[in-house]
């Protein structure tokens, strides 16, 4: 350990600052390494097609709360969030490894439940569980998943390919996972206080968005069928604002998002209002939607227009114009990223 | 969570039991999956060479104790243990991903130290750090590493290829990492009790075996140079006895190991005696040596004989003869595996 006078708190740097600090020290030396840190997945060239690899870690008490997350759902979600990263490269996931640390407060049956969810996700997405590691932990459960997939060399999509005037498109709708989390947190607090059973009635859609999200493999197939090749793409894990900023930064462009275009499900909208939350803020910064956010050339507008799974929410600009949200009155507001400091501390 | 009447303790099943329970539920469906759970690494066929993938998780308080493990060494070791799994497939590691969860008791400088070790290992072994994940944890540090490598299709080595009469060979020497751990634990206890500084004098070799192990890439190159292709191979992470049993079980053979052949460094031997530990037991069950254990056809005996890096310690038998250690009096003792239950609970 280092001495106290050199202590810099992690919170000063934040998650993205820490990633930048680490990646600034990394040299890539392997001929087969096509893309390292800084996209949804790493890209490796073993000779024919590309291989894409991504790893994620889910920590009890940080990423999930077992007081309201069923273990089967947790296993499912742990796989899906990784597959979503592979799909966001326009790649096809084929294999996963799962590393699991858990304390002896968990019985074997809990592990069975978790793997039931993991294997259900494998079946639903056509991937194989090929390895991993199990070990004990001193407190709680930690799940590490690595996903491996393949991509055609000519059609892999990075975060960095967006051009000025490209349209910004998002799949599905936004904010539901975050509002679902609010319902779960409220019911947990009520249960702790007065011991009544959770009232989750009428919240099926947003609870499913939070507890059992799906990776948009169907959207990748849809785009492929339409012959639309995105110029850049990312999956929405941190939140639309944060992830749109990732695309703009990696591509060297600005971005403009129109508030009134944001796709928000009525269930999300209504519950956000019940919680006195701004639905736009939930859609922008809620995160965990696992929808795909991508850019397409203006020429492709007709192909996506009117498709119920896709919404054009803005466009890329010259870098000098910056990154903004345009409100219903046409006023520009700077887009700001929300990393873990805002949501997890 | 499941109800209490169905509760089976993890310790009843043990690490290997849990892995078997999980893998028995897994179906492999992808044409590109050559080998799933049950070897040192998974094997994937993307078209030309094979890709091999392995993941491991290291948990503070279980796999390492930061009161005596320097962070730089920890980072180095976290990488090396994964590269060792790739090498144990007779494959060449090329890329790693690192996922890191840590609580805010760690300053940024601690992360720097950890990554200094990770990147030193990358440089020493010629691999690229290509991705991963950083997140917070509620307690302590968890490091997840995934390594990816390539192998020629004709020369990949599984655990399952050993034949009756094949010689069992081990690289380097055994038991040092375990005895080194005893020294560190003793000095920690002394420090806690009377506050004196650790006395690590004269224990350089075994401390290095514990704190900064190396993966035997040199041995893979040596075997390649000698034109010796092992029939089966594993790296010694759990301990010689346990890992020899893995080879025998996967290959459908028995195994016989000769006590008097076990390579034990004088430093390991002397310190084991000081601790009133049996050096043979340390070599058999200590684990964490990260040496390579492999089998070769009897015909190749002349090629390895007398090589200072390699020791023939026994041979494979017909399955019906079982798995035994032969003591200096020629008496057979059944080999028994030591999983996490024995060493970590």
**Domain check: are A129 and A179 in the same one?**
no
Q: pLDDT tens across A110-154, in order?
A: 888 999 999 999 999 998 888 887 888 887 899 999 999 888 888
B57 CB-near residues (< 8 Å, 6+ apart): A99, A100, A101, A133, A135, A142, A144, B142, B143, B144, B145
Q: Which of residues 21-80 of A touch B (CB under 8 A)?
A: 21-22, 25-30, 32-33, 35-37, 41-42, 44, 46-49, 51, 53-57, 59-63, 66, 71
Q: How many Å lie between the alpha carbon of B324 and the closest alpha carbon of chain A?
A: 27
In the 8-state DSSP scheme, what is residue B60?
B
The answer to whether residue A8 scores a pLDDT higher than 60 is yes
Q: Establish if A202 belongs to a structural domain.
A: yes
The answer to whether the CB atoms of B146 and A146 lie below 8 A apart is: yes
Sheet holding A33-35, edge to edge: A33-35, A42-44, A50-59, A141-151, A92-102, A128-136
Selecting from A2, A54, A57 the residue whose C-beta is nearest the C-beta of B131 gives A54
pLDDT in the model for residue B190: 81
Lowest mean pLDDT among A183-187, A257-261, B22-26: B22-26
Contact (CB, 8 A) for A75 and A114: yes
Residue B65 has pLDDT above 50, yes or no: yes
Domain with B232 in it: what CATH number? 3.90.650.10
CA-based nearest residue to B170, from B278, B269, B83, B262: B262
* A4 found inside a domain: no
Percent of chain B with pLDDT over 70: 94
Q: How far is B40 from chain A (nearest CA, A)?
A: 9
A196 and A140 co-located in one domain: no
* Counted domains in chain A: 2
Q: Choose one of B121, B151, B181: the last residue of a domain.
A: B151
Chain B: closest CA distance from residue A222 (Å): 22
Is the per-residue pLDDT at B86 higher than 70?
yes
- Are residues A62 and B33, on separate chains, in Cβ contact within 8 Å? no
**Quick one: A236 and A93 in the same domain?**
no
Residue A68: pLDDT band (50, 70, 90) is confident
The kind and range of the H/E element at A123 are helix A108-125
Residues A224 and A92 in one domain: no
Per-residue pLDDT of B176-190, as tens digits, reads 999 999 999 988 888
Span of A87-91, B8-12, B128-132 with lowest mean pLDDT = B8-12
DSSP assignment of A154-176 equals TT---TT---TTPEEEEES-SSH
Residues A194 and A330 in one domain: yes
Q: What value does the mean pLDDT take over residues A22-27?
A: 80
Residue B288 falls inside a structural domain:
yes
Which of B111, B126, B151 is a domain's end point? B151
- Per-residue pLDDT for B251 more than 90? yes
Q: CA nearest A55 in B: which residue?
A: B132
pLDDT at A31: 78
Average pLDDT, chain A: 89
Say yes or no to pLDDT of B75 above 90: yes
Quick one: B188 and B330 in the same domain? Answer: yes
Give SS3 for B263: coil
The verdict on residue B134 lying in a domain is: yes
pLDDT by residue (tens digit) across B31-41?
788 888 878 78
Give the pLDDT of residue A2: 42
Q: How confident is the model at residue A1 (pLDDT cuts 50, 70, 90)?
A: very low
Q: How far is A311 from chain B (nearest CA, A)?
A: 29
Pairing between strand B332-334 and B323-326?
antiparallel
Q: Cα A200 to the chain's mean position, in Å?
A: 25
B208: its two tokens: 């290095």
pLDDT at residue A198, as a whole number: 66
CA of B80 to nearest chain A CA: how many angstroms apart?
Answer: 16
The residue of chain B with its CA nearest to that of A6 is B109
- What are the beta bridge partners of residue B323? B255
Structural domain for B63, as ranges: 10-151
- Preferred mutation among A64, A136, A287 to probe B, highest tally of B CBs within 10 A: A136
pLDDT the model gives residue A338 = 66
HSE, CB side, 13 Å, CA atoms: give it for residue A208.
9
Q: Compute CA A211 distance to the chain's CA centroid, rounded to the nearest angstrom.
A: 14
Instruction: Determine the Cα–Cα distance for residues B224 and B8; give it in Å rounded to an integer.
Output: 46
Task: Tell whether B40 is covered by a domain.
Answer: yes
pLDDT at A279: 95
d(CA B49, CA A15): 36
Q: B95 and A44 in contact by Cβ < 8 A?
A: yes
Cα B253 from Cα B317, distance rounded (Å) = 6
Do residues B86 and B233 both lie within one domain?
A: no
**Residue B198 has what pLDDT?**
66
Q: What percent of chain A lies above the pLDDT cut of 90?
A: 59
> CATH number of the domain that B36 lies in?
3.30.1330.10
Q: Which of A85-89, A258-262, B20-24, B244-248 has the lowest mean pLDDT?
A: B20-24
Cross-chain residue pair B42–A139, CB shorter than 8 Å: no
Residues of A in contact with B55 (CB under 8 A): 55, 97-99, 131-133, 144, 146
B14 Cα to chain A: minimum distance (Å)? 10
The verdict on B44 and B138 lying in the same domain is: yes
Least confident of A115-124, A127-136, A162-171, B154-163: A127-136
How far apart CA A329 and CA B43 sit, in angstroms, is 56
A55/B55 Cβ within 8 A: yes
Q: Kindly identify which residue of chain B lies nearest to residue A93, measuring between CA atoms.
A: B30
Task: Return the ∠ at Cα B51 (arms to B166 and A225), rounded to 5°.
Answer: 145
φ, ψ (nearest 5 deg) of residue B53: -135, 135
Together in a domain, B82 and B178: no
Query: What is the three-class DSSP state of A107?
Result: strand
Lowest mean pLDDT among A44-58, A72-86, A185-199, B70-84: A185-199
Q: Do B62 and A138 touch (CB under 8 A)?
A: yes
The residue ranking higher by pLDDT, A30 or A301, is: A301
Nearest to A239 by CA among A274, A299, A283: A283
pLDDT at A320 over 80: yes
Q: Do B101 and A44 touch (CB under 8 A)?
A: no
**How far is it, in rounded angstroms, from Cα B250 to Cα A222?**
44
Q: Which residues of B230-262 are buried (b: 16+ CB within 10 A; e: fewer)?
A: bbbbbbbbbbbbbbbbbbbbbbebbbbbbbeeb
Residues near B13 by Cβ (< 8 Å), separated by ≥ 6?
A: A108, B21
Per-residue tokens: B266 = 């004088």
Given a cut of 90, is residue A171 above it in pLDDT? Answer: yes
Pair (B145, B172) in one structural domain: no
CB atoms closer than 10 angstroms to residue B27 = 10
Q: Cα separation of A52 and A49, whole Å? A: 10
Pairing outcome for strands B310-317 and B254-258: antiparallel
**Average pLDDT over all residues of chain B:** 89
Nearest to B53 by CA among B115, B18, B97, B100: B97
What is the reported pLDDT for B200? Answer: 74
Secondary structure letter of residue A300 according to DSSP: G
Give the pLDDT confidence of B92-133 residue by residue, as tens digits.
Answer: 999 999 998 888 888 888 888 999 999 999 999 998 888 887
pLDDT at A328 over 70: yes
Contact yes or no for B46 and A42 at CB 8 A? no
Length of chain B, in residues: 345
Per-residue exposure over B176-210, b if at least 16 CB sit within 10 Å of its own CB, e if not: bbbbbbbbbeebeeeeeeeeeeeeeeebebbbebb
Instruction: State the nearest Cα–Cα gap between A286 and chain B, in angstroms.
Output: 17
Q: Note whether B120 and B188 are same-domain residues.
A: no
What is the nearest CA distance from A38 to chain B, expressed in angstroms? 7
- Please tell me the predicted confidence (pLDDT) of residue A316: 98
pLDDT of A251 > 50? The answer is yes
Question: Between A9, A21, A110, which is nearest B107 by CB?
Answer: A9
Mean pLDDT of A149-174: 93
* CA B157 – CA B241 distance, rounded (Å): 20
Position A104 scores a pLDDT of 81
**B264 three-state secondary structure:** coil
User: At B197, is the pLDDT very low, low, confident or very high (cuts 50, 70, 90)?
Assistant: low
Backbone angles phi, psi at A167, to 5 degrees: -85, 145
Q: Is the pLDDT of residue B195 over 80?
A: no
Q: Is A37 close to B132, i.e. CB distance below 8 A?
A: yes
Burial of A238 (0-12, 13-18, 19+ CB in 10 A): buried
Q: How far apart are the first and last CA of chain B?
A: 23
CB–CB of A83/A117 below 8 Å? no
Query: Token pair for residue B190?
Result: 């002394």
Residue B35, pLDDT score: 81
Task: Classify residue B16: in a domain, yes or no.
Answer: yes
Arithmetic mean of pLDDT, B135-159: 88
The mean-pLDDT minimum among A70-79, A142-151, B242-251, B333-342 falls in B333-342
Partner residue opposite A10 with nearest CB, options B60, B61, B108: B108
Average pLDDT of the residues in A67-84: 93
Torsion, Cα B67 B70 B76 B77, to 10 degrees, reads -30
Interface test with B, best of A56, A57, A158 (most B CBs within 10 A): A57
Same domain, A282 and A212: yes
A161 touching B, CB under 8 A? no
Within a domain: A3: no
* Interface contact A59-B115, CB threshold 8 A: no
In angstroms, rounded to a whole number, what is the distance separating the alpha carbons of residues A244 and A291? 12
- Predicted confidence at residue A342, as pLDDT, reads 31
Q: Across the interface, do B59 and A33 touch by the CB < 8 Å criterion?
A: no
What's A330's DSSP letter? S
Which among B124, B151, B178 is the end of a domain?
B151
Q: Give which of A254, A245, A244 is closest to A291, Cα–Cα.
A: A244
pLDDT value at residue B339: 47
Query: For residue B128, how far is the Cα from the chain centroid?
Result: 21
Residue A5 lies in a domain: no
What is the biggest distance separating any 2 CA atoms in chain A, rounded to whole angstroms? Answer: 61
Tokens 């990263």 — which residue?
A85
CA distance from start to end of chain A: 23
Give the number of other Cβ atoms within 10 Å of residue A273's Cβ.
Answer: 12
DSSP H stretches of helix in chain B: 10-23, 71-87, 108-125, 176-194, 204-211, 217-226, 240-251, 266-274, 279-285, 301-304, 340-344
DSSP assignment letter at B5: G
């Amino acid at each position: 350990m280092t001495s106290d006078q050199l202590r810099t708190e992690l919170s000063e740097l934040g998650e993205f600052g820490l990633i930048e600090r680490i990646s600034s020290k990394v040299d890539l030396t392997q001929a087969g390494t096509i893309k390292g840190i800084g996209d949804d997945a790493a890209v490796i060239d073993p000779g024919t097609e590309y291989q894409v690899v991504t790893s994620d870690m889910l920590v009890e008490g940080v990423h999930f709360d077992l007081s309201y997350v069923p273990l089967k759902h947790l296993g499912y979600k742990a796989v899906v969030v990784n597959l979503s990263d592979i799909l966001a490269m326009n790649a096809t996931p084929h294999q996963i490894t799962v590393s699991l640390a858990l304390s002896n407060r968990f019985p074997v049956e809990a592990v069975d439940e978790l793997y039931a969810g993991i294997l259900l996700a494998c079946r639903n997405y056509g991937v194989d569980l090929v390895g991993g590691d199990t070990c004990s932990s001193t407190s709680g459960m930690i799940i590490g998943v690595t996903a491996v997939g393949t991509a055609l060399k000519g059609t892999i999509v990075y975060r960095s390919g967006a051009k000025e005037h490209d349209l910004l498109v998002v799949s599905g709708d936004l904010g539901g996972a975050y509002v679902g989390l609010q319902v779960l947190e409220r019911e947990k607090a009520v249960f702790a206080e007065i011991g009544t059973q959770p009232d989750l009635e009428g919240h099926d859609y947003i609870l499913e968005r939070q507890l059992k999200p799906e990776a948009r493999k169907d959207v990748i197939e849809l785009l492929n069928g339409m012959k639309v090749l995105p110029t850049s793409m990312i999956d929405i894990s941190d939140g639309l604002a944060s992830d749109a900023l990732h695309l703009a930064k990696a591509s060297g462009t600005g971005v403009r998002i129109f508030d009134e275009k944001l796709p928000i499900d009525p269930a999300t909208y209504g519950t956000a209002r019940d919680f006195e939350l701004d639905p736009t803020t939930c859609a922008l910064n809620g995160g965990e939607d696992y929808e795909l956010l991508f850019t397409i050339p203006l020429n492709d507008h007709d192909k996506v227009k009117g498709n119920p799974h896709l919404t054009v929410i803005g466009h890329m600009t010259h870098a000098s114009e910056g990154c903004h949200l345009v409100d219903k009155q046409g006023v520009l507001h700077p887009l700001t990223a929300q990393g873990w400091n805002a949501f997890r501390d």
